[in-house]
Amino acid sequence: MRSLLSDNLAQTVACSIVASRLDYCNAILYSAPANTFDVLQRPQNNLARIVCQRGGRTDAKLLLRSLHWLPVKQRVTYKMATLTFKVLSSSMPTHLNDLIQPAVPVRPLRSSDVPVLSAARTRTEFARRAFSVAAPHTWNSLPSDIRSCNTLHTFTKHLKTHLFRQS
């Protein structure tokens, strides 16, 4: 059936059917064990091979890069950082805006021009997945030039480039 579809249509179908399933509730996957990401990475790798019409032995990392698809673990980080940017830039949704607080430095610093969030301390690994902990951790781990972007389009463009370099 893949041979009947154009490359663009195959990529659109793949993103709409499978990639949307991989993105479902991926905020709770933040800081999940590595074997969880391995389980979710396999379908994305197979999907990339199908879309690119390659065999099962082909290296999926190169195919993901050619399709401009982030691996699942980086995709979770991408979604968390994008949601955090939206909350910080528009204060919406308010229930998420109430969960994150900007960090206030004790004394004036040169680095205080770039927004940093304060993260609550937790005792359990499961509690680290909460938005109030995961969002500041993700946000603060980004380079300052990405955090200081003004528009969502610019932010997502720089963020995706940064995450591609990491993977």
Give me the mean pLDDT over the 4-24 stretch.
Answer: 83
pLDDT, position 99:
87
pLDDT in tens, 50-99: 899 898 889 999 999 999 899 999 999 999 999 999 999 987 788 888 88
The last residue of one of the domains, among 71, 97, 121, is 71
Widest Cα–Cα separation across the chain: 64
Alpha-carbon separation of residue 148 from 21, 88, 144 (angstroms)? 31, 11, 6
Domain closes at, from 71, 91, 126? 71
Clarify whether residues 61 and 17 are in a common domain: yes
Residue 111 has a pLDDT of 59
- The residue out of 71, 93, 110 marking a domain boundary is 71
Q: Which pLDDT score, from 0 to 100, does residue 151 have?
A: 95
Verify that 157 and 88 share a domain, yes or no.
yes
Identify whether residues 94 and 56 lie together within a single domain.
no
- Helix spans in 24-70 (H): 34-51, 60-67
Structural domain including 62 reads: 2-71
* Same domain, residue pair 110 and 135: yes
* R_g of the chain computed on alpha carbons: 18
What total number of domains does the chain contain?
A: 2
Q: Which of 11-15, 43-47, 84-88, 162-166 has the lowest mean pLDDT?
A: 11-15
> By the 8 A CB rule, do 135 and 100 touch?
yes
Question: Mind listing the pLDDT tens digit for each residue in 20-55?
Answer: 788 887 777 888 889 989 999 999 999 999 899 898
Specify whether 10 is located in the same domain as 54.
yes
pLDDT digits (tens, 9 = 90+) for 117-145: 988 888 887 788 888 889 999 999 999 99
Is 60 in the same domain as 20?
Answer: yes
Is residue 95 located within the same domain as residue 53?
no
Same domain assignment for residues 80 and 162: yes
Residue 104, Cβ density class (10 Å: 0-12 exposed, 13-18 middle, ≥19 buried): exposed
Residue 117 bridge partners (DSSP): 102
State the pLDDT confidence band at 16, using cuts at 50, 70 and 90: confident
Same domain for 155 and 138, yes or no, is: yes
- Does the pLDDT value for residue 1 go beyond 80? no
**Do 81 and 141 belong to one domain?**
yes
| Cα gap 66→8, rounded to integer Å | 13
Q: Is residue 32 domain-shared with residue 48, that is, in the same domain?
A: yes
pLDDT at 23 (0 to 100): 80
38 and 83 fall within a common domain: no
